[in-house]
Amino acid sequence: MTESVAADRFPKRRWGRLAFAGVAWVALVAGWVAYQRSSGLGQIDTAQRLIDTARGNWWAIGAYMAVSLIRPLVLFPATIVAVAAGILFGPVVGVVVAAGSANASAFIGYSVGRNLRRPGESAEVSSRLGVWASRLRANSFETVLLTRLLFLPYDLVNYGCGLLRVRRVPFVAATAIGTLPGTVAFVLVGSSVTRLDDGIDGIDSGILTASIVLILFSLATSRFVKRRTSRVAGEIEPFVAGDQAQSANARE
């Protein structure tokens, strides 16, 4: 009864907007795939072509940010884009531009996922997923921070957090903090080479060492966050179980 009422209240106009957005998204991805196939360029080659076009131009930062905002919609690897920032702008400006763009693109993915689920629709398709989703929402900051420090698939995390209605402020804050070590590491790598296809041999040994240290620091920090998250999850589990039991009784 409740589900049918929620469905009736869901605006038909919004269904139309979602359908249009879905078609536009599919068309964008299809166009991107078609371009890569017709040009014969891989992801690195495509990024290098964009770097060659933007390098030294006054509009390079704006173009980079525009590409970064489109990137999650075509699932282009965020790591390549971060390295490109180092090549184009150097270590200092590159970190600032890459970090800002990464957070903006994460919020776009989060917003897309959040708008894919209609109000009142249950995101829990199983009891196990329901418990996990409840923990995620109750402990949003540390859980999202953990996914960033572990370098889990960037766009998948963004869409998933939006779909599961993770709170906006903790998501943004955890993303800003958690992506910083990786962003700095990849930008430093980019700043020490002139082309994406230079390979690891073209990377300065000192820069490579610093980047590895940053990545190891991120992974080590994730272990601490994971222990803390597990402890907090154990503390809130009785409340989660109580909420689920209450919801089940209400449906009956």
The model carries a pTM of: 0.76
Q: Do 226 and 133 meet the contact criterion of CB atoms below 8 Å apart?
A: no
Banded pLDDT at 249 (limits 50, 70, 90): very low
Distance (Å, whole) CA 95 – CA 185: 9
Cβ neighbours, 10 Å, residue 208:
15
Distance (Å, whole) CA 148 – CA 120: 29
Q: Where would I find the H helices in 40-167?
A: 43-54, 60-74, 78-115, 127-138, 140-149, 154-163
Residue-level pLDDT at 243: 46
- DSSP assignment, residue 198? G
Close Cβ partners of 148 (under 8 Å, ≥ 6 residues apart)? 157, 174, 175, 177, 178, 179, 182
Cβ neighbours, 10 Å, residue 104:
13
Residue 58 reports pLDDT greater than 90: yes
- Give me the amino acid identity at 187: V
CA-wise closest residue to 251 among 136, 134, 120, 133: 120
Total residues belonging to the chain: 252
Higher pLDDT, 174 or 123: 174
HSE-up of residue 193 (Cα within 13 Å, Cβ side): 21
Residue-level pLDDT at 63: 95
Distance (Å, whole) CA 21 – CA 6: 22
Residue-level pLDDT at 13: 65
